Amino acid sequence: MIDKSRLTEPNEPSDHKPSDTDLIRLTHVTRTYGRVIGVNDLDVTLPQGAYALVGPNGAGKSTLIGLITGALRPTLGSVKVFGQDPVGNASVLSRIGLCPASDILLPGVSAVQWIRQLLSLSGWPPKAAAARTFEVLEAVGLLEAIHRPINTYSLGMRQRCKLAQAIAHDPQLLILDEPFNGLDPVGRHEMTTMLVDWAKSGKSLLLASHVLHEVEQITDAFLLIYGGRLLASGTAGELRSMLADLPQDLAITCSDIDLLASRLATAPWLKSMQLDREKHRLRVSVGQPLELYQALATMSVEEGIEITELAGADGDLSSLFQLLVSRHRGSRTIRRT
Amino acid sequence: MSSLIHQASPKVPLNWRWGILGVVKLEIQRSLTTARILAWLAMATFPVMIASITAWQMSEMQMSLSAEESSFTFSMMLYVLLPQVVTPLGLLLWATPVVSSELEGQTWIYAVTRANGRRAVLLGKYIVAILWSSSTAIVSAAVAVPITGMPNPLQSWIVISCLVVLSAFAYAALFVLIGTLFQRRAMITAFIYMIGVEAFMSLIPATINQLTVSYRLRSILVHAMDLKVSLANQRQQWFIDETPVWQSVGYLGLYTLILLGISLWRVQASQYSWQSEL
């Protein structure tokens, strides 16, 4: 689905040569708002595919989306989408569908009126726009409420309405900023299914979220952003592999937790250890994870300790993200080795 | 939901002008609320009431005006009330918030990320502002002119209506420009401009008043209504242009095109902030 080998690391020279077929190319892009830095020196090339842009609120996700959609100009550097500058570029913008995070505050306007107008802004003639509006509103499950003013919709309905306008003009690149906000579990499931199908269809996707487990189900290509900087990029596996060289917290479940704890206690690279006898789990904080992995392998063979689980402290990408953020605050950008 | 993305995209000839039509259509639909219809009626009624009271008082005081005097008095009164007050007031409500209303409704981002969204929104709103404001004043003139008892009522109504349309085009371009320059307090800025420049500066006996829309509209009124104003009087020459009507119309056309052009450039080059940009 996605050629992960072409994904370049942030601020790292890549063998991948820029081409017109690249989905997005950011060349040392910085965007400031007066003295506030929105994004800082982003340098990455993304081929066509599905990507999750992950970062906490205020990380710079929406600014990056603004730059990609041509709503903002970079203060420094250049942005290319489909090989062209997106600012005021009709041919680029007609291939982008955006579902922003901000809510719709249009009093007295129905979904059908609004989406029809937005299609007309994309150059669609009235008849075709009317027919397409009904198609997309039916697709997102809003057909029964299409004539109701949008401001009377629930938050979930407004999210679906925003999604409908984003896909209405049949874009090649769908950009969604926090699309799961306000959706109930059923709505989240439907949204996830739709986005998985979208990615499988060969169209490109950029999904901004601060909830890791939601985007993990849709794509395994991640861009981690914090403080306006791209901390890391790659697949979930690649990002996890970065942990091998970095201090991290791990949870180990094994057959003889006391023996394992006594063996590890003297290791020079161990920073702290917490024993949970009820769950047969040992939480360790280590400075050199590779040393730990080697020790575990040795102990498994020599001492007969059966390791049943080895995971990040909370078992998902959030540990990686927190680690990258903490490293970013005190050090330079993480790079895959 | 998923079935949609597998459907073939309809092959339609795309044209950016549909965007303007779409904006006009939506804005007209949005104008058909009770509050906005009442505002339209109130603005149309106001000049009619003034004209009625004036005509009634004159008859009460048994003032008998000659045809020339009647034409001059009521033409000037309707000129001030309609192209100079009612039309700009309507435009203040419709043209000035061209960008700020989109920003407040958090819909600007949808416009700027559409192929021709920026200029279509600006031009669409410009057209609706003209339609709303000029329709108010033209309907109002249609009722007020017969009430005043002016000679040649049809000609008077046509001249006033033409002045209303010229006023709407020019002031709408001015207010749209102010709306693209100021995200906040655009309406107050436009109001101050109208008072300071169009009301006071246009009456300053100096060449600078020729830069105002009021000066041109006044001149067109005097020539088109054939009002007896002695242009030999040097003082009056400062207030009325001797040039033919077509030149004044041409000046207003140029004024409108230049301001609209700057607005289009401004809106195309703008990076207005929206709520969640960080």
Q: Nearest-5° angle of CA A297, CA A303, CA A306? A: 60
- A38 is in which domain, residue-wise? 1-95+207-235
**Are residues B221 and B227 in contact, defined by beta-carbon separation less than 8 angstroms?**
yes
**Domain co-membership, A74 together with A1:** yes
Supply the DSSP string of chain B, one letter for each residue. -GGGGGSPPP-----THHHHHHHHHHHHHHH-SHHHHHHHHHHHHHHHHHHHHHHHHHHHTT----HHHHHHHHHHHHHHHIIIIIHHHHHHHHTGGGTHHHHHTT-HHHHHTSTTHHHHHHHHHHHHHHHHHHHHHHHHHHHHHHHHT-SSHHHHHHHHHHHHHHHHHHHHHHHHHHHHH-SSSHHHHHHHHIIIIIIIGGGSSSGGGGGSHHHHHHHHHHHHTT----TTSHHHHTTS--S-HHHHHHHHHHHHHHHHHHHHHHHHH-----TT--
Q: Is the pLDDT of residue B216 over 50?
A: yes
Q: What is the DSSP string of B55-117?
A: HHHHHHTT----HHHHHHHHHHHHHHHIIIIIHHHHHHHHTGGGTHHHHHTT-HHHHHTSTTH
Strands in A96-99's sheet, in edge-to-edge order, are A96-99, A173-177, A204-209, A50-54, A221-226, A229-235
CATH of the domain at A323: 3.30.70.100
- Is A113 inside any structural domain? no
- Give SS3 for A116: helix
So what's the pLDDT on residue A24? Answer: 93
**Angle between helix B117-148 and helix A111-121 axes, rounded to 10 deg:** 110
Query: B116 and A90 in contact by Cβ < 8 A?
Result: yes
Length of chain A: 337
Give A242→chain B minimum CA distance, Å.
28
* pLDDT attached to residue A99: 93
A96, A109, A194: residue with CB nearest B1: A194
Lowest mean pLDDT among A231-235, B3-7, B159-163: B3-7
Write out pLDDT tens, residues A189-212: 888 888 898 888 889 999 998 777
The residue written with tokens 């949008």 in the block is A150
More reliable by pLDDT, A188 or B67: A188
Query: What does residue B25 show for φ and ψ, rounded to 5 degrees?
Result: -60, -50
Q: What is chain A's mean pLDDT, rounded?
A: 82
Helix and strand counts by DSSP (H, E) for chain A: 11, 13
In the 8-state DSSP scheme, what is residue A84?
Answer: B
Q: List, edge to edge, every strand of the sheet that includes A76-81.
A: A36-46, A24-33, A76-81
- Would you kindly state where each structural domain of chain B is located, as residue ranges? 16-269
Q: How many residues does chain B have?
A: 278
Same structural domain, A273 and A325: yes
Residue A165 lies in a domain: no
pLDDT of B87 reads 96
Amino acid at B180: T
- Taking CA–CA distances from B120, the nearest residue in chain A reads A121
**Residue located via tokens 């100021």:** B182
Beta bridge partners of A221: A235
pLDDT of residue B152: 85
pLDDT above 70: percentage of residues in chain A: 84
Asked if residue A251 and residue A231 are part of one domain, the reply reads no
Instruction: Flag whether pLDDT at A216 surpasses 90.
Output: no
Q: Helices in chain A by DSSP H: which ranges? A: 61-68, 90-93, 111-121, 126-139, 155-168, 185-200, 212-216, 236-242, 257-264, 289-302, 317-330
Question: Does the pLDDT of residue B243 top 50, yes or no?
Answer: yes
Cα distances (Å, whole numbers) of residue B108 to A119, B55, B176, B187, B223: 15, 48, 15, 18, 44
Cβ atoms A264, A252 nearer than 8 A = no
Q: Are residues A218 and A302 in the same domain?
A: no
Dump pLDDT digits (tens) for B31-79: 988 999 999 999 999 999 999 999 888 888 777 777 777 788 888 899 9
CA distance A283 to chain B (A): 37
The CA-CA-CA angle for residues A173, A196, A319, to 5°, reads 100
Q: With beta carbons less than 8 A apart as the criterion, state whether A120 and B18 touch.
A: yes
- Among left, alpha and beta (phi > 0; psi -120 to 50; other), residue A66 is alpha
pLDDT beyond 90 at B274: no
Task: Flag the least confident range among A1-10, A265-274, A279-288, B113-122.
Answer: A1-10
Hey, what are A172's tokens? Answer: 């090649």
Q: Would you say residue A10 has pLDDT above 60?
A: no
Q: Which of A52-66, A243-257, A269-283, A296-310 has the lowest mean pLDDT?
A: A243-257
Residue B154's pLDDT is 93
A78 confidence band (pLDDT: 50, 70, 90)? very high
Q: What is the mean pLDDT of chain B?
A: 87
Q: What is the pLDDT, as a whole number, of residue A336?
A: 37
Q: Identify all chain B residues contacting A98, using CB atoms and an 8 Å cutoff.
A: 109-110, 113
**Average of per-residue pLDDT across B146-174:** 93
Q: To the nearest whole angstrom, how far is the Cα of B130 from the nearest Cα of chain A?
A: 20
Instruction: Collect all residues of chain A within an 8 Å Cβ-Cβ radius of residue B112.
Output: 69-71
Angstroms from B271 CA to nearest CA on chain A: 6
Report helix, strand or coil for A105: coil
Judge whether A6 lies within some domain.
yes
**Contact assessment for residue A111 and residue A137, using Cβ atoms and an 8 Å cutoff:** yes
Averaged pLDDT for residues A271-300: 84
Assess contact for A328 and A229: CB atoms under 8 A.
Answer: yes
Mean pLDDT of B161-171: 97
Q: Is the pLDDT of residue B238 over 70?
A: no
Q: Which residues of B touch A136 (CB under 8 A)?
A: 4
pLDDT at A11 over 70: no
Among A8-17, A232-241, B211-220, name the most confident range.
B211-220
Q: Are residues A214 and A296 in the same domain?
A: no
State the pTM of this model. 0.81
Backbone phi, psi, residue B230, to 5°: -75, 105
Q: Is A80:A68 a contact under the CB 8 Å cutoff?
A: no
Say which residue, A117 or A11, is predicted with more confidence.
A117
Distance from CA of B76 to the nearest CA of A (A): 40
Query: Is residue A236 predicted with pLDDT exceeding 80?
Result: no
Q: Do B1 and A116 touch (CB under 8 A)?
A: no
Q: What's the angle, vertex CA A205, arms to CA A118 and CA A7, rounded to 5?
A: 145
A289 vs A317: CA distance, rounded Å: 17
Say if residue A255's pLDDT is above 70.
Answer: yes
**A100 in a structural domain:** no
Q: Where residue A26 sits, what CATH number does that domain have? A: 3.40.50.300
Chain B residues within 8 A of A128 when measuring between CB atoms: 10, 12
Q: Please list the residues that pair with A208 across neighbouring strands.
A: A53, A177
- Indicate whether A5 and A91 sit together in one domain: yes
- Inter-chain residue contact B5 with A194, CB threshold 8 Å: yes
CB neighbourhood size of B69 (10 A): 12
- Considering only CB atoms, A123 lies closest to which of B3, B15, B113, namely B15
Number of domains within chain A: 2
pLDDT digits (tens, 9 = 90+) for A107-152: 889 999 999 999 999 999 999 999 999 999 998 888 888 889 998 9
Stated as kind and residue range, the H or E segment containing A52 is strand A50-54
Q: What end-to-end distance do the CA atoms of chain B give, in Å?
A: 30
Q: pLDDT-derived band of residue B273, with 50, 70 and 90 as boundaries? A: low
Please give the residue that has the higher pLDDT: either B73 or A242.
B73
- Asked whether the predicted pLDDT for residue A271 surpasses 90, the reply is no
Comparing CB atoms, the residue among B3, B26, B271 nearest residue A72 is: B271
- Residues A168-178 have pLDDT tens digits of 999 999 999 98
